[in-house]
């Protein structure tokens, strides 16, 4: 009988794979997305050494516990991608940028070109070198390189990704979602996910949600679109894009109105009871303080502890610490009071209460599209989970002021949010509103709620100041501070004495003061405008800035090739380092071929982006499992090599020799402070100490033997309440995760924002913004959260463009990387515009029909797919599936180029604004953090005419294959590891 008629399975997926004798298995860390799961790479001997046979999840890894997703398992097809660059390339003399005409050169020549050019810039005007990186995971090294070079013009991709999520939460609770913290679904009863489709924390989140659902938890998804995780939510609540902040304000209104708030938590662990000055003047809106010099400087973002409270027990003003939290004291969180000197004050919670008083469910219903009744019942559900379903864990802990808590209080309502909140120009205040909502429910670092991951929580404001001294940009001199940081005061802005920006991207200027991750999306436009100055060399790593990583794509492609009156390119020299022939490669003058994640060493460590768990720190590495293809070199090695050639002090011995032989050596031996390094496992000469210790020459081997991961389980007494947990705070300081061991009070009210507002109102004697930015700062730097319409709306005819347009990252692909992946292309080879059937019908477009999508900035032609899983006022598509013809070595006429499309063509990188010196625009970004406003664009749709080509618009001239690329996509579908050449 044939096997397929047998009752035995043809393939038993649970059986151990049959492993041929020649097979070898190596553990490393996945990088098919930023989740960083542990993987096992199964190898087989091939023509040039071991080749990848298949990849599976590592069951021994704490993050994914053996789970692997479609992307992770398809890593083999990235390894053999036909788009792999294999040689350094130089643009052919006389060819235009964008034409993609290159000659292959040696690494020696590439290094010589770079060294000569960079040495000259560094010796004259270092800020003329700009280094911007995309989705890299080694910002501790790239940031150090820029700092040692002496240029402030450095950032990674966070400014156009989710800086609002990071900054909005960190400036409020000292931590954020994803690698910084997340929902404790093992103990939650209610889980509310907002603005998240699929996630950076992909496999762990899927594992956690699946267990949560099996355990009977209730999962609500609030999103304009029901995709990704929302598919298995118990309830989907559709919401209009950019209105989440209004929902949170109404929920705060309801929770406070119905007294479903955690009074004890607010009084002890937040700044709710601290008295805010109400009188006009330089201290208006700041916290009142004790002038006794022994109490320290007035409370502010850097020194938050000299503040006052009103004790209702004795009817007097007390110092907030320690008197205000002493037993027997009951600080007021409501009311209005007068200090002995006549100053009128109120607890900050009173001001929050006043702020949300008018934010009724009826008010929010009109904005969000969610009924007032549903908002009210949502608040009841949240309150019910936090208080009626509350429990305690038998875990004693001692708080920062010595009070012993015999148990740990659970508040089992957990939230998760991401880019749907962040990628709007109102995202910072929206995220703050969410963090405050979580705080009033007492669910910060509590069982069942939000929990931090080491090294978080950070101080509020974190003790990292961004470089801000223009006088320190000197030839051949490192900067005296890192280019990125967290400003706490106008004095910390990166501006010149006249208020103009120091940085090419205008980050940390009055335009976007708290732009903690920089503003990569501004770099090309500003450099071409020469605003505030022209640069010489732009180096980009893993950033597809000529395609899906930029707004206004067509114009930016033109800018990359724009010349000045002397015929010189406005950006004279562009270096692109990438593993693949992306659209941006065609615009490079010099191309450096990078390795894949299977060919190099990498570190996901505490100085950068660890993979910590709730119960302790975790870091991990990648080790090469196969040899680099062709002449590919890891970008990290290129930086170490350049740092040595350019003789950066941190990379050079006193006698001028190179300090590090390469990246692995640098990782082991570089110490920013004694005993502190990139990796925390197996430190000390023999690997006997963890977290801190001398460099260990065998550290890489020890990681390799241990699944490429180090995990420390902290004692239970340090698992919760870490903003105030004495044992944890001391431990974190001892391990150099924090500079101080003082408690981190939640900032329901942000005096940091108020400092900027006072300056804008002209009420302070220090730095003040230029006149044209005063109103903007005074409006948006509100110390209390508020909802405002995304800024683009004010510049849009909403009747003409009635629909919101947003994108999501497809679950099967990660950014632009995977449209070249022979396996993943079989899931999506092009994207559609997803439209509610009612909206499509009203526009006269049929499911599968071609249509035009128009914003005031541009238009695209694409195909429509109707779906009930999108609210009627929103249209959306998958991001980055659409490709330029010929890019990524896709065959001419590939679906990705002919049917796929980019929504980016509809989004402007600037908005109208009357600026200084005749400027008419300002970045299309959050006015506080500079987060790119990707999801603010408004569009309309109409059918394409029957005679129009069935092809997406716009189209671009086909990119030729670069010298040394491997082939065309169709050839690799039949790839077999180990196949010998005949
Ligand atoms: S979730 Fe991301 S890191 Fe994990 S296996 Fe999938 S692609 Fe790899």
CB contact at 8 A, 396 and 406 = yes
Region 514-529 average pLDDT: 96
Ligand 1 mean position to 200 CA, how many Å?
A: 9
Average confidence (pLDDT) over 130-135: 91
The ligand 1 atom at the shortest distance from the C-alpha of residue 63 is 4
Closest residue by CA, ligand 1 atom 5: 72
| Lowest-confidence region among 188-197, 341-350, 502-511, 807-816 | 807-816
Question: Which helix (H) or strand (E) segment is 865 a member of?
Answer: strand 859-866
**Closest Cα to atom 4, ligand 1: which residue?**
37
For ligand 1, atom 8, the nearest C-alpha belongs to 72
The finding on whether 58 has its CB within 6 A of some atom of ligand 1 is no
In short, whether 571's Cβ falls inside 6 Å of ligand 1 is no
CA distances from 299 to 139, 318, 466, 488, 490 (A): 32, 14, 21, 12, 16
Q: What is the pLDDT of residues 208-267, one digit of tens each?
A: 999 999 999 999 999 999 998 999 999 999 999 999 999 999 999 999 999 999 999 999
Rounded distance from Cα 232 to ligand 1 centre (Å): 20
Indicate if ligand 1 lies below 6 Å from the C-beta of 203: yes
Residue 54 CA, ligand 1 centroid: distance in Å = 14
Output the CA 183–ligand 1 centroid distance in Å. Answer: 19
pLDDT value at 16 more than 90: no
Ligand 1: does its nearest atom lie under 6 Å from the Cβ of 69? yes
Ligand 1 neighbour 34 (Cβ under 6 A): no
CA distance linking residue 145 with residue 638, whole number of Å: 11
Q: How confident is the model at residue 200 (pLDDT cuts 50, 70, 90)?
A: confident
pLDDT in tens, 64-123: 999 999 999 999 999 999 999 999 999 999 999 999 999 999 999 999 999 999 999 999
Nearest atom, ligand 1, residue 67 CA: 5
Tell me how far the alpha carbon of residue 896 lies from the centroid of ligand 1, in angstroms: 23
Report helix, strand or coil for 443: coil
| Structure token digits, residue 675 | 């005993």
The β-bridge relationship of strands 450-452 and 938-943 is unpaired
Collect all residues with Cβ–Cβ distance below 8 Å to 293 and sequence separation of at least 6. Answer: none
Residue 53 has a pLDDT of: 92
Query: Would you state the torsion angle of the CA atoms of residues 842, 848, 852, 858, taken in this order, to the nearest 10 degrees?
Result: 120
CB of 37 within 6 A of ligand 1: the answer is: yes
Question: How many CA atoms within 13 Å lie on the side-chain side of 95?
Answer: 17
Ligand 1: distance of its center to the CA of 32 in Å?
Answer: 6
Q: Distance, CA 320 to ligand 1 centroid (Å)?
A: 46
* Token pair for 823: 């396996």
pLDDT of residue 4: 45
Mutational test site, ligand 1, from 41, 56, 71, max ligand atoms within 8 Å of CB: 71
Distance 228 CA to ligand 1 centre (A): 15
| DSSP conformational letter for 122 | H
Q: How far is ligand 1, taken at its centre, from the CA of residue 154, in Å?
A: 28
Q: Which helix (H) or strand (E) holds 397?
A: strand 397-398
pLDDT band (50, 70, 90) for residue 809: confident
**Does the CB atom of residue 542 touch ligand 1 within 6 A?**
no
The number of the ligand 1 atom at minimal distance from the alpha carbon of 36 is 3
How far is the centre of ligand 1, averaged over its atoms, from the C-alpha of 596 (Å)?
15
**CA 753, CA 759: separation in Å to the nearest integer?**
10
Quick check: CB of 30 below 6 Å from ligand 1?
A: yes
Q: Is the CB of 812 under 6 A from ligand 1?
A: no
The kind and range of the H/E element at 760 are: helix 751-760
648/123 Cα distance (integer angstroms): 12
**C-alpha 456 to ligand 1 mean position (Å):** 23
- Nearest atom (ligand 1) to Cα of 203: 1
Separation of CA 626 and ligand 1 centre (Å) = 19
Q: Indicate if the pLDDT at residue 391 is higher than 60.
A: yes
Q: Find the mean pLDDT for residues 36-45.
A: 95
User: Which atom belonging to ligand 1 lies closest to the Cα atom of 39?
Assistant: 5
Do the Cβ atoms of 155 and 484 come closer than 8 Å? yes
Q: What's the maximum distance between 2 C-alpha atoms anywhere in the chain?
A: 98
Q: Which of 37, 73, 817 to mutate to test the pocket of ligand 1 (most atoms within 8 A of CB)?
A: 37
pLDDT at site 968: 59
CB 64 near ligand 1, within 6 Å:
yes
Q: Is 611 in the pocket of ligand 1 (CB under 6 A)?
A: no
DSSP codes, 216-267? T-EEEEE-SB--GGGGG-SEEE---TT-HHHHHHHHHHHHHHTT-S-HHHHH
Give the position, in ligand 1's atom list, of the atom nearest the Cα of 68: 5
**In the block, which residue shows the tokens 């562009």?**
574
Pocket probe mutation, ligand 1, options 27, 30, 56, 65, max atoms within 8 Å of Cβ: 30
> Three-state SS for 312?
coil
* Residue pair 508/680 in contact by the 8 Å Cβ criterion: no
What is the atom index within ligand 1 of the atom nearest the CA of 33?
2
Give yes or no for residue 12 having a pLDDT over 70. Answer: no
DSSP 8-state secondary structure symbol assigned to residue 65 = T
Q: Is the pLDDT of residue 3 over 50?
A: no
DSSP state of 979: P
Residues 911 and 861: beta-carbon distance below 8 Å: no
Question: How distant, in Å, are the alpha carbons of 47, 165, 242, 577, 862 from that of 804?
Answer: 52, 21, 9, 35, 16
Per-residue pLDDT band for 1 (boundaries 50, 70, 90) equals: very low
Q: Tell me how far the alpha carbon of residue 75 lies from the centroid of ligand 1, in angstroms.
A: 9
To test ligand 1's pocket by mutation, which of 28, 33, 198, 812 has the most ligand atoms within 8 angstroms of CB?
A: 33
Structure confidence at residue 135 as a pLDDT band (50, 70, 90): confident
How far is the centre of ligand 1, averaged over its atoms, from the C-alpha of 203 (Å)? 7
pLDDT band of residue 559 (cuts 50, 70, 90) is very high
DSSP 713: P
Query: Which of 176, 792, 158, 758 minimizes the C-alpha distance to 432?
Result: 176
What pLDDT, in 10s, does the model give residues 117-130? 999 999 999 999 99
How far apart (Å, rounded) are the C-alpha atoms in residues 591 and 640?
17
Per-residue confidence at 679, pLDDT binned at 50, 70, 90? very high
CA 598 to centroid of ligand 1, rounded, Å: 14
Percent of the chain past pLDDT 90, that is, above it, reads 89
Do residues 835 and 95 touch, judged by C-beta distance below 8 A?
A: no
In short, whether 35's Cβ falls inside 6 Å of ligand 1 is: yes
pLDDT at 978: 63
Please compute the mean of the pLDDT values over residues 840-864 and round it to a whole number. Answer: 98
Any ligand 1 atom below 6 A from CB of 202: yes
Q: Which of 505, 469, 409, 390 lies closest to 724, judged by CA?
A: 409
* Whether residue 33 has its Cβ less than 6 Å from ligand 1: yes
- Per-residue confidence (pLDDT) for residue 763, from 0 to 100: 97
Q: What is the pTM for the complete model shown?
A: 0.96
Ligand 1 atom nearest residue 32's Cα: 7
- The answer on pLDDT for 2 being more than 50 is no
Q: What is the residue-averaged pLDDT of the chain?
A: 94
Q: How far is the CA of 39 from the centre of ligand 1 (A)?
A: 9
Query: Which residues, 6+ apart, have CB-to-CB distance to 962 below 8 Å?
Result: 85, 89, 100, 102, 581, 585, 591
- For ligand 1, is residue 810 a contact (CB within 6 Å)? no
Q: How far apart are CA 484 and CA 504, in angstroms?
A: 13
Looking at residue 750, its pLDDT comes to: 98
* Ligand 1 site, residue 139, Cβ cutoff 6 A: no
With beta carbons less than 8 A apart as the criterion, state whether 218 and 412 touch. Answer: no
Query: Is the pLDDT confidence value at 982 over 50?
Result: no
What span, in angstroms and rounded, lies between the C-alpha atoms of 296 and 307?
A: 10
Long-range contacts of 113-118 (CB under 8 A, 24+ apart): 113/590, 114/575, 114/590, 114/642, 115/642, 115/645, 115/646, 117/536, 117/537, 117/573, 118/149, 118/537, 118/642, 118/646
Apex 181 CA angle, 177 and 182, nearest 5: 70
Pocket test for ligand 1, best of 39, 69, 811 (most atoms within 8 A of CB): 69
| Residue 234: CB atoms within 10 Å | 12
Coil, strand or helix at 468: coil
pLDDT attached to residue 293: 93
């Amino acid at each position: 009988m044939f096997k397929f008629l047998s009752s035995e399975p043809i393939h038993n997926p649970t059986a151990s794979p049959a492993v041929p004798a020649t097979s070898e298995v190596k553990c490393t860390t996945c990088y098919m997305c930023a989740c960083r799961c542990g993987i096992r790479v199964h190898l087989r001997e091939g023509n040039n050494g071991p080749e990848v046979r298949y990849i599976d999840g590592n069951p021994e890894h704490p993050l994914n516990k053996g789970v692997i997703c479609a992307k992770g398992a398809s890593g083999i097809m990235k390894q053999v991608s036909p788009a792999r660059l294999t040689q350094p390339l130089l643009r052919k003399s006389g060819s235009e940028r964008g034409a993609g005409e290159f000659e292959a050169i040696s690494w020696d020549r590439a290094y010589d070109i770079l060294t000569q050019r960079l040495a000259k810039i560094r010796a004259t005007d270092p800020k003329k070198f700009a280094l911007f990186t995309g989705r890299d995971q080694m910002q501790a090294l790239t940031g150090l390189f820029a700092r040692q070079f002496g240029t402030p013009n450095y950032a990674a991709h966070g400014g156009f990704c989710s800086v609002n999520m990071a900054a909005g939460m960190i400036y409020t609770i000292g931590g954020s979602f994803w690698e910084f913290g997340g929902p404790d679904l093992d103990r939650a009863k209610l889980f509310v996910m907002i603005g998240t489709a699929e996630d950076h924390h992909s496999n762990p989140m899927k594992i956690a949600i699946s267990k949560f659902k099996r355990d009977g938890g209730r999962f609500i998804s609030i999103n304009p679109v029901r995709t990704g995780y929302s598919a298995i939510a118990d309830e989907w609540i559709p919401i209009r894009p950019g209105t989440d902040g209004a929902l949170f304000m109404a929920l705060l209104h309801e929770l406070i109105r119905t007294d479903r708030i955690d009074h004890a938590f607010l009084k002890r662990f937040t700044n709710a009871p601290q008295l805010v000055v109400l009188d006009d003047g330089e201290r208006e809106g700041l916290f009142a303080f004790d002038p006794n010099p022994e109490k320290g400087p007035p409370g502010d973002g850097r020194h938050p502890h000299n503040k006052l409270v009103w004790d209702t027990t004795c009817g007097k003003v007390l110092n907030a610490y320690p008197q205000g939290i002493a037993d027997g004291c009951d600080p007021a969180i409501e009311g209005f009071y007068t200090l002995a000197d006549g100053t009128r004050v109120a607890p900050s919670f009173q001001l929050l209460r006043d702020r949300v008083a008018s934010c009724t469910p009826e008010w929010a219903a009109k904005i969000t599209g969610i009924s007032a009744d549903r908002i009210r019942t949502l608040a009841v559900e949240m309150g019910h989970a936090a208080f009626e379903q509350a429990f305690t864990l038998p875990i004693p802990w001692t708080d920062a002021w010595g009070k012993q808590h015999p148990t740990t209080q659970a508040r089992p309502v957990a939230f998760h949010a991401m880019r749907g909140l962040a990628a709007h120009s109102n995202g910072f205040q929206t995220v703050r509103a969410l963090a405050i909502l979580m705080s009033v429910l007492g669910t910060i670092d509590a069982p069942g709620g939000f929990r931090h991951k080491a090294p978080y929580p950070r101080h509020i404001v974190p003790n990292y100041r961004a470089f801000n001294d223009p006088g320190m940009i000197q030839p051949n001199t490192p900067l005296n501070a890192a280019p990125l940081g967290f400003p706490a005061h106008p004095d910390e802005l990166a501006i010149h004495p006249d208020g103009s920006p120091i940085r090419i991207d205008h980050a940390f200027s009055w335009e976007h003061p708290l732009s903690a991750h920089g503003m990569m999306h501004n770099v090309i436009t500003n450099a071409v405008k020469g605003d505030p100055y022209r640069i010489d060399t732009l180096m980009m790593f893993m950033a597809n800035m000529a395609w899906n990583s930029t707004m206004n794509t067509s114009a930016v492609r033109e800018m990359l090739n724009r010349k000045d009156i002397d015929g010189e390119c406005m950006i004279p020299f562009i270096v692109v380092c990438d593993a693949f022939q992306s659209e941006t490669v065609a615009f490079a003058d010099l191309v450096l071929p990078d390795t894949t994640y299977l060919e190099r060493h990498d570190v996901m460590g505490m100085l950068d982006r660890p993979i910590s768990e709730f119960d302790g720190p975790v870091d991990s590495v990648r080790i090469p499992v196969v040899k680099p293809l062709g002449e590919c070199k890891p970008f990290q090695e290129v930086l170490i090599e350049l740092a040595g050639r350019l003789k950066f002090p941190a990379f050079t011995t006193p006698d001028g020799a190179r300090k590090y032989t390469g990246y692995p050596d640098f990782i082991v031996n570089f110490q920013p402070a004694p005993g502190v390094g990139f990796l925390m496992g197996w430190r000390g000469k023999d690997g006997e100490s963890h977290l801190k210790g001398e460099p260990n020459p065998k550290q890489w081997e020890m990681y390799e033997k241990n699944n490429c991961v180090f995990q420390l389980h902290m004692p239970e007494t340090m698992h919760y309440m870490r903003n105030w947990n004495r044992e944890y705070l001391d431990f974190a300081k001892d391990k150099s995760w924090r500079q101080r061991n003082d408690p981190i009070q939640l900032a329901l009210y942000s005096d940091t924002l108020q400092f900027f507002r006072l300056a804008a109102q002209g009420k302070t004697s220090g730095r003040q913004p230029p006149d044209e930015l005063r109103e903007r700062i005074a409006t948006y730097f509100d110390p209390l959260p508020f909802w405002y319409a995304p800024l683009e709306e004010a510049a849009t005819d909403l009747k003409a463009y009635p629909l919101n347009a947003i994108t999501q990252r497809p679950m099967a692909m990660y950014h632009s990387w995977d449209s070249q992946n022979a396996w993943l292309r079989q899931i999506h080879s092009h994207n559609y515009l997803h439209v509610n059937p009612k909206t499509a019908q009203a526009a006269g477009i049929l499911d599968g029909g071609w249509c035009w999508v128009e914003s005031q900035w541009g238009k695209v032609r694409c195909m429509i797919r109707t779906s009930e899983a999108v609210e009627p006022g929103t249209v959306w598509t998958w991001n980055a599936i659409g490709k330029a013809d010929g890019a990524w070595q896709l065959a001419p006429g590939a679906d990705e180029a002919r049917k796929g499309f980019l929504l980016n063509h509809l989004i402007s990188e600037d908005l109208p604004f009357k600026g200084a010196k005749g400027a008419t625009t300002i970045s299309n970004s959050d006015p506080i953090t500079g987060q790119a406003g990707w999801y603010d664009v408004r569009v309309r749709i109409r059918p394409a005419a029957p005679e129009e080509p069935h092809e997406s618009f716009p189209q671009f001239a086909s990119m030729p294959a670069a010298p040394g690329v491997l082939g065309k996509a169709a050839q690799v579908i039949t790839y077999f590891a180990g196949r010998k050449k005949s």
